């Protein structure tokens, strides 16, 4: 009897610990250079707004991860963004590049919105 209680409690504790480590942050931005870290908060805010729009269409959306790669200096600087949107059924990927960070970011987020619209229309299709 006592052994069963110990085993049950151990399972609950281990499930709680594993659940904490499996949980991803809702918005994650990585790869920014030291000079570009001021943009991180505004990038996270844009991602949060877009994720709110996407969740209205696709409730399974869990979070967005953006990786920024900057090459070159000065006028030759080029930003390459790769984004992943996590859902319960799988991951959606989008990428864009451009001379402006926000231009590339809006293209990535727009691609996520389009994918969510497609998934919503596919889910609501009455012919299936």
Q: Give the CATH number, domain containing residue 89.
A: 3.30.160.100
In a domain, 19, yes or no: no
User: For every one of its 128 residues, what pLDDT tens digit does the chain have, with 9 covering 90 and above?
Assistant: 677 777 777 777 776 665 555 567 889 999 987 877 778 889 999 999 999 999 998 888 889 999 999 888 888 889 999 999 998 888 889 999 999 989 999 999 999 999 888 887 776 655 44
In a domain, 97, yes or no: yes
Range of the domain at 104: 25-123
In a domain, 33, yes or no: yes
In a domain, 67, yes or no: yes
How many structural domains is the chain composed of?
1
Q: What's the pLDDT score for residue 121?
A: 77
In a domain, 60, yes or no: yes
In a domain, 75, yes or no: yes
* pTM over cut 0.85: no
In a domain, 15, yes or no: no
Gap between the Cα atoms of 106 and 109, Å rounded: 5
């Amino acid at each position: 009897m006592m052994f069963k209680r110990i085993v049950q409690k151990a399972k609950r504790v281990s499930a709680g610990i594993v659940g904490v480590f499996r949980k991803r942050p809702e918005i994650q931005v990585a790869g920014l250079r030291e000079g570009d870290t001021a943009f991180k908060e505004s990038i996270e805010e844009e991602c949060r707004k877009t994720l709110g729009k996407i969740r209205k269409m696709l409730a399974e959306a869990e979070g967005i991860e953006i990786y920024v790669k900057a090459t070159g200096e000065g006028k030759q600087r080029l930003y390459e963004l790769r984004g992943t949107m996590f859902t319960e059924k799988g991951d959606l990927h989008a990428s864009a590049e451009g001379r402006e960070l926000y231009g590339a970011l809006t293209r990535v987020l727009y691609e996520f919105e389009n994918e969510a619209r497609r998934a919503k229309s596919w889910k609501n299709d009455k012919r299936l």
